[in-house]
Structure 1
Amino acid sequence: MTDDPKRYPLLAQPHIRLLGTVDDAMYQNFRQQLAACPADGTLVVAITTLGGDPEVARAMGTDIRLLRDYTGREILFLGKVAVYSAGATFMSAFPVEHRFLTRRTRLMIHERKLQKTMTIEGPLRSCVPTLKATLHEIEHSIAIEEEGFRDLVAGSNVSFDDLRSKAPNNWYIEAEEARDLGLVLDVI
């Protein structure tokens, strides 16, 4: 932990506060809060979540990247209490040097999951497109997951292969360990 708990005063008053499931409602709330933010200066985005829709997390992350890239603004991530699943996906949009966690926060990283029931019925040739479409869905979901994993570990001491090997078992990481692994800059 940092020697001076007041080293990062901006983190005490986040501009955007997100709590709950990462879903369409959170995205709408995020966009409303973002629109109400000051036009200049550093922004702080805080999140507490047990997870949700990874595509919504990616959309919020893309908004952050675009804002940072087109305005040059510094945008800080503050994970509070729980940053699970889609929350970690959202965190991956922030460079490591702009990521913070509060004490006793836990990250949880896992693979994307799919639950799908398929009924294969009819002439054999008509079954092939359904199977191929599902295979393509799985392959592209894996590619998207791996892009996010690479963003999450970029600039840290965690290799992509290490993350990929731990993700199938729901990798829980305490705040101090995340800092020591270089996944976040500091714990406040």
Structure 2
Amino acid sequence: MTEAPAPPPPPVIHDDGTSATRYPLLGQPHVTLSGNVDQAMYQSFRDQIAAAPHQGTLVVSISTLGGDPEIARLMGDEIRLLRDYNQREILFLGKVAVYSAGATFMAAFPADKRFVTRGTRIMIHERSITKTVELAGPLRTCVASLRANLHEIEESVRIEEEGFRDLVAGTSIPFDDVRARAPENWYIEAEEARSLGLVLDVI
């Protein structure tokens, strides 16, 4: 009985100095997200993760003008769990615009696992709130209502700062710098992001 012939070896890709040879997996992300960061994006994220290969490096790309920061944190937490429990390398690829909640999602990836395409902008800003507080009833109840709203804001600030710390971990950006610049909407171009260590490379 003759043995089946061995499969041909994979083609050898010689490094010609281009992104395509240095990072071949980035050309076809396994998970591609675009649009508003909302429940619909989260569902698409879950569906694409489920359909992606269960072994090997996973590439997740996103292009967004922003959206719900808590959904961005939720997707980021799922990336962390997938990385920690499955010991997988997961790469981030930002395309065109990585604004607001997109940057929050990017913070879930270590700085040396982040990439952006040429011409991409990252925008970091602080959370905002729009709320009208009406006071009516016993004075103690009014005080409790005001304190509850203040606590909501204070906790949101703490969550925001946790995200800023994750975003700049392993980069040359001091935490105080990102906290100081976020209120004015800090736009970072792709090449600047690379020079700051916010991403590993531009493709």
TM-score grouping bracket, smaller chain normalisation: over 0.9
1:113 aligned residue: 128
Aligned residues: 187
Normalized against structure 2, the TM-score is what?
A: 0.91
Query: Which residues of structure 1 form unaligned runs of 5+?
Result: none
Match of 2:162 in 1: 147
Structure 2 residue runs without a partner (length 5+): 1-15
CA distance in 1, matches of 2:173, 2:18: 26
- 1:158-169 residue pairs with structure 2 within 5 A? 158-169=173-184
Among candidates 19, 34, 37, match of residue 5 of structure 1: 19
Residue aligning to 1:92? 107
- What SS class does the counterpart of residue 22 from structure 1 fall into? coil
The amino acid of 1:177's aligned partner reads E
SS of the equivalent of 2:130 reads coil
Instruction: Give the number of the structure with larger relative contact order, counting CA–CA contacts within 8 Å between residues 6 or more apart.
Output: 1
Q: CA RMSD in A?
A: 1.0
Deviation at 1:5, TM superposition (A): 2.4
For residue 82 of structure 1, the aligned residue among 97, 105, 109 is 97
Q: Deviations over 1:25-68 (max 9, x none)?
A: 10011000000010100000000000000000000000000000
* Alpha-carbon distance in structure 2 between the residues aligned to 1:5 and 1:74: 18
| Aligned ranges 1:2-151 → 2 under 5 Å | 3-6=17-20, 7-151=22-166
How many Å separate the matches in 2 of 1:112 and 1:141? 8
Residues 98-156 of structure 1 deviation map (CA, whole Å, 9 limit, x = unaligned): 00000000000000111101111222111011111101100100000000000000000
SS of the residue corresponding to residue 93 of structure 2 reads strand
Q: Which has the larger radius of gyration?
A: 2
Structure 2 counterpart of 1:123, which letter?
A: P
TM-score, reference length from structure 1: 0.98
Code of the aligned partner of 1:5: S
Q: CA deviation at 1:3?
A: 4.3
Identity %: 70
Alpha-carbon spacing, 1:109–1:129, altered in 2? closer, same or farther (3 Å): same
